[in-house]
Chain A
Amino acid sequence: MSNPTTAKPEMIATRDAYGKILLEMGAKYPDLVVCDADLSGSTRTEWFGQKYPERFHDNGIAEQDMVNVGAGFALSGHRVVCSSFSIFGSRAWEQIRNTAARAKIGILFAFTHAGLSVGEDGASAQANEDVAIMRAIPDVKVIVPADATETKKSVPWVLEHLDGPYYMRFSRAKVPVAFGDDYQFELGKGVVVREGSDVSIIACGQMVAISLTAADDLAKEGIQARVINMASIKPVDEALIVKAAKETGAVVTAEEHSIIGGLGSAVCEVLSEKLPTPVERIGVRDCFGESGTPDELFDIYGLSKRHIVAAAKKAIRRTE
């Protein structure tokens, strides 16, 4: 159990937290090599690169090559991080599948600018399918940190346990800091960030913070929503999902990603096999985004607080 911060949380983009912790990891791990594909100013790997130029490899705009160059470093005894934007890194799906994963090579694929909140750049840059793509690959573990704190805690965990490929996605936009510094990340474990007995909202990424505000609104109407942060999407915390479904009877999933193949799918897969339960999925509904501010897009594409509130009520209704 961690302490969600309340009222006026600090806003930090998880990519900034990623860049900062990566820089720290450069000192901790002399074998760490970071690769990027000409986006280091935006992915924040530049901060590592400025301090450790000899261990920073900018591969230019060639993501497929970058993935396998990273594999070459890793096979030669280095701890490797490869960064790009989620949308462009994902184009190297087959390289990640056939070289990194099939050969079980320890690489952290840390992709930024994930999801709809990329905003004004529009649909071409809004990766809403990356989690689905990575989750489908055997031996790839998938982590979507909720905030800066979880980023700061999970990146070191991954670099310490780099036993195969990991995928992490980070946001471009500033997102509320949901956790205090006492938060500890553990792969395969979800965290209950708010207790409740009427419905469970299982979220990842910045949707955790939005879900907490939705829970506040639901509470005003007498509905007690449990909010679970499920940063570890693969492996997913089956026990916590089943427990939540059993104890609350209704489930909402919330992710800044397509409803196909991401957290919502993962939760439905667990519950359909273990404990069939009404589930409402919040996410991008099998469509492309467009230009706009993150808030405008969340509102139009159904990822806002009000949508979570409505989904929670609908899930509860379905149990009656």
Chain B
Amino acid sequence: MPGLRDEKKLKAIALSLRRDILSMITRAGSGHPGGSLSAVELVSALYHGEMNYDPKNPKAPNRDRFILSKGHCCPVLYATLASVGAIPRASLWTLRKLHSPLQGHPCRLKMPQIEVSTGSLGQGISVGVGMALAARLDHASWRTYVLMGDGECQEGELWEAAMTAGVKKLDNLVGIVDYNHVQQTHPVKEIKDIEPLADKWRAFGWHAIQIDGNNYPAIFKALDEARATKGKPTVIIASTQKGKGVSFMEGDPAFHGKSPNPQEYVKAMAELGVDVSGGKTYE
């Protein structure tokens, strides 16, 4: 994908992705809107403006790898893959339906664009470490990006992997934490505070960058810094807004894993500039 970093164009893409995410989840009747909406800028920045990725050739050996470790937020990944032309747009409306390649959590056997099946937290970063080690062993130049959740940072395996990557000095690996501050039932700091998060990663041998994760220029600046950082892996701790873009979903744990009801859907889409009242469908 040629690097698209024009903020205005990307913001238009982000708006479209948010409409898609809400429509997908509403049609599915279930899913995770909050953490999908928070990660829109992060995932779209990677696919549109950062990674070496050819949507027509998803298995190109030298492609950069993306792992959605917070697999429950796959609507943002599917919508982004459609936006770059990697999967058909019409397939978005099959999310979570029987025989759909758009499984409730990503499945590489059903969708070749998925690098590794995810859905159980804490595991994606380990797979990313393995991929980064493999790239180094094979003298390959491709890079690996892993998107994690903030609540996911409570998983022990994540820190096992963080230690492995730090010790192995994997500068071809980028971790991104979608720090939207809310996990399934409550704010992260009320369940089990993960702070001081950047210090934790640094203590494990990573270069840590803290940014506004809903801001494209900040994201690209951090990704460039990660690329320029040698001798250690980089983690981008991206502070985001859970449910970003829909006023009544923002920061509300209720929309972590719940589909909007028909009234909420109409209201949310109106906020995103689309009229779906009276049963009008959004395609």
Q: Which residues on A are within 8 Å of B, measured CB to CB?
A: 33, 54-55, 57, 59-60, 62, 64-65, 67-78, 94-95, 98-99, 102-105
Q: Which residue of B lies closest to A92 (CB)?
A: B157
Chain A residues in 8 Å Cβ range of B128: 72
Chain B residues in 8 Å Cβ range of A57: 133
A76 CA to B136 CA, complexed, in Å = 11
Chain B residues in 8 Å Cβ range of A98: 117, 119-120, 123
Q: Which residue of B lies closest to A102 (CB)?
A: B117
A62 CA to B163 CA, complexed, in Å = 10
Chain B residues in 8 Å Cβ range of A99: 116-118, 120, 123, 127
Can you add 13 more A-B contacts, CB < 8 Å, to A72-B116, A75-B131? A57-B133, A62-B157, A65-B126, A68-B129, A71-B116, A71-B126, A73-B131, A75-B115, A75-B130, A76-B130, A76-B138, A94-B120, A105-B116
Q: A60-B163, A98-B119, A99-B116 are in contact. Are A68 and B137 (CB under 8 A)?
A: no
Q: What's the least CB distance linking A138 to chain B, in Å?
A: 11
Q: Check: B5 CB closer than 8 A to any chain A CB.
A: no
Chain B residues in 8 Å Cβ range of A69: 126-127, 129-130, 133, 161, 164
Q: Check: B203 CB closer than 8 A to any chain A CB.
A: no
Q: Check: B211 CB closer than 8 A to any chain A CB.
A: no
Q: Check: B276 CB closer than 8 A to any chain A CB.
A: no
Chain A residues in 8 Å Cβ range of B163: 60, 62
Name A62's contact: one of B61, B127, B135, B164 (CB within 8 Å): B164
Chain A residues in 8 Å Cβ range of B107: 102-103
Do B123 and A72 touch (CB < 8 A)? no
* 29 A–B pairs (Cβ distance < 8 Å), ordered by A: A57-B133, A62-B157, A64-B160, A65-B161, A67-B126, A68-B127, A68-B129, A68-B157, A69-B126, A69-B129, A69-B130, A69-B164, A72-B128, A72-B133, A72-B134, A73-B134, A74-B130, A75-B115, A75-B116, A75-B134, A76-B131, A76-B138, A94-B120, A95-B123, A99-B117, A99-B123, A103-B107, A103-B109, A103-B116
A199 CA to B126 CA, complexed, in Å = 49
Q: Which residue of A lies closest to B134 (CB)?
A: A76
Q: What's the least CB distance linking B260 to chain A, in Å?
A: 28
CB-based closest 7 A-B pairs: A72-B130, A68-B126, A76-B134, A65-B160, A62-B160, A69-B130, A103-B117
Do A71 and B108 touch (CB < 8 A)? no
Chain B residues in 8 Å Cβ range of A76: 130-131, 134-135, 138
Do B131 and A33 touch (CB < 8 A)? no
User: Do most interface residues of chain A lie in helix, strand or loop, or is the interface mixed?
Assistant: helix
Q: Which residue of A lies closest to B67 (CB)?
A: A72
Do B157 and A64 touch (CB < 8 A)? yes
Q: A99-B116, A103-B117 are in contact. Are A68 and B123 (CB under 8 A)?
A: yes
Q: What's the least CB distance linking A63 to chain B, in Å?
A: 9
Q: Check: B156 CB closer than 8 A to any chain A CB.
A: yes
Chain A residues in 8 Å Cβ range of B61: 77
Chain A residues in 8 Å Cβ range of B161: 62, 65, 68-69
Do B126 and A72 touch (CB < 8 A)? yes
Q: Check: B238 CB closer than 8 A to any chain A CB.
A: no
Chain A residues in 8 Å Cβ range of B25: none
Q: A75-B116, A99-B127, A104-B109 are in contact. Are A55 and B137 (CB under 8 A)?
A: yes
A102 CA to B134 CA, complexed, in Å = 21
Q: A95-B157, A99-B127, A103-B116 are in contact. Are A73 and B109 (CB under 8 A)?
A: no
Q: Check: B132 CB closer than 8 A to any chain A CB.
A: yes
A98 CA to B128 CA, complexed, in Å = 15
Q: Which residue of B lies closest to A59 (CB)?
A: B164
Q: Which residue of A lies closest to B155 (CB)?
A: A64
Q: Which residue of A lies closest to B115 (CB)?
A: A75
A203 CA to B135 CA, complexed, in Å = 43
A232 CA to B156 CA, complexed, in Å = 34
A54 CA to B129 CA, complexed, in Å = 16
Q: What's the least CB distance linking A64 to chain B, in Å?
A: 4
A69 CA to B61 CA, complexed, in Å = 19
Q: Which residue of B lies closest to A31 (CB)?
A: B138
Do A70 and B130 touch (CB < 8 A)? yes
Chain B residues in 8 Å Cβ range of A73: 130-131, 133-134
Do B127 and A71 touch (CB < 8 A)? yes
A55 CA to B156 CA, complexed, in Å = 26
Q: Which residue of B lies closest to A67 (CB)?
A: B126
Q: Which residue of A lies closest to B124 (CB)?
A: A68
A57 CA to B160 CA, complexed, in Å = 14
Do A103 and B108 touch (CB < 8 A)? yes
Chain A residues in 8 Å Cβ range of B129: 65, 68-69, 72
Chain A residues in 8 Å Cβ range of B122: 64
Q: What's the least CB distance linking A102 to chain B, in Å?
A: 5
Chain B residues in 8 Å Cβ range of A65: 126, 129, 157, 160-161, 164
A250 CA to B101 CA, complexed, in Å = 48
A94 CA to B61 CA, complexed, in Å = 29
Chain B residues in 8 Å Cβ range of A62: 157, 160-161, 163-164
A72 CA to B109 CA, complexed, in Å = 15
Name B126's contact: one of A60, A64, A104 (CB within 8 Å): A64
